[in-house]
Amino acid sequence: ISLFYYLVTRKILYPLLSLLLVLPFADSNMPFAMAALNSRPVLLLLLGVIIFIETDVRPKIDKSVNGFLLYFLILGYYLMEVNGVGNILRPVSYVLVVIIIPVVVKHLLYNDRDNLLRSIVFLYFIVYLLSFMNFGENTSLVRYGRFSGIFSNPNALGIFSFLFFMLSYIIFKFQGRLFNDWERYLVLGIILTGLLYSRSRSGIFAVAIFLSSIYIYERWNFTGLLFMIISVVIFESFFSFESFIRGLGLADFFRLESLETGSGRKIAMLEAWGKIKENPIDGYGIGFTERFFDENQLEMQRKGHAGSVHNSFLWVWLDMGLLGLLSFIWGWFRWFVNSFKYCILVLPVGLAVAFSSNVESWLVGSLNHVTIQLIIILCLLSNVTFLER
Rounded CA separation 17/24 (Å):
12
Confidence bin at 87 (pLDDT 50/70/90): low
Identify whether the C-beta of residue 204 lies closer than 8 Å to the C-beta of residue 255.
Answer: no
pLDDT in the model for residue 383 = 92
Confidence bin at 324 (pLDDT 50/70/90): confident
Which long-range contacts (C-beta less than 8 Å, at least 24 apart) are formed by 107-113?
107/12, 107/51, 107/56, 107/57, 107/59, 108/12, 108/13, 108/16, 109/379, 109/380, 109/383, 109/385, 109/386, 110/385, 112/11, 112/13, 113/175, 113/385, 113/386
What is the per-residue pLDDT across 116-159, written as a single tens digit (0 to 9) for each? 999 999 999 988 888 777 444 334 444 456 788 888 788 888 99
Element (H, E) at 143: strand 142-143
For residue 260, pLDDT over 70 is answered with no
pLDDT in the model for residue 230 = 64
pLDDT in the model for residue 243 = 46
Rounded CA separation 382/86 (Å):
34
Most confident of 34-43, 183-192, 200-209: 183-192
Higher pLDDT, 42 or 253: 42
For residue 95, pLDDT over 50 is answered with yes
User: Cα separations (Å) of 168 from 15, 123, 161, 258?
Assistant: 21, 11, 10, 32
Element (H, E) at 142: strand 142-143
pLDDT in the model for residue 79 = 61
Identify whether the C-beta of residue 58 lies closer than 8 Å to the C-beta of residue 52.
Answer: yes
Residue 146 pairs with which residues in a beta bridge?
Answer: 143
Confidence bin at 228 (pLDDT 50/70/90): low
Identify whether the C-beta of residue 168 lies closer than 8 Å to the C-beta of residue 125.
Answer: no
Residue 147 pairs with which residues in a beta bridge?
Answer: 142
Helix 371-381 and helix 312-340, axial crossing angle in degrees, nearest 10: 10
Element (H, E) at 146: strand 146-147
pLDDT in the model for residue 347 = 87
pLDDT in the model for residue 136 = 42
Mean pLDDT over 27-36 rounds to 79
Confidence bin at 188 (pLDDT 50/70/90): very high
Nearest to 241 by CA among 228, 253, 223: 253
Rounded CA separation 21/380 (Å):
19
Rounded CA separation 389/368 (Å):
30
Rounded CA separation 19/101 (Å):
10
For residue 96, pLDDT over 50 is answered with yes
Confidence bin at 33 (pLDDT 50/70/90): confident
Rounded CA separation 271/336 (Å):
30
pLDDT in the model for residue 261 = 47
Mean pLDDT score of the chain: 80
Q: Quick check: pTM over 0.75?
A: yes
Q: Which residues contact 8 (CB under 8 A, 6 or more apart)?
A: none
Mean pLDDT over 98-120 rounds to 92
Higher pLDDT, 236 or 357: 357
HSE-CB for 325 with a 13 A CA cutoff? 17
How many angstroms from the chain centroid is the CA of residue 190? 19
Higher pLDDT, 68 or 182: 182
For residue 345, pLDDT over 50 is answered with yes
Q: How many other CB atoms are there within 10 angstroms of residue 237's CB atom?
A: 10
User: Cα separations (Å) of 276 from 90, 204, 270?
Assistant: 21, 30, 10
Question: What share of the chain in percent tops pLDDT 90?
Answer: 29
φ and ψ at residue 146, rounded to 5 degrees: -130, 150
As a whole number of Å, the CA-based R_g of the chain is 21
pLDDT in the model for residue 85 = 46
Mean pLDDT over 274-278 rounds to 86
For residue 236, pLDDT over 90 is answered with no
Helix, strand or coil, per DSSP, at residue 307: coil
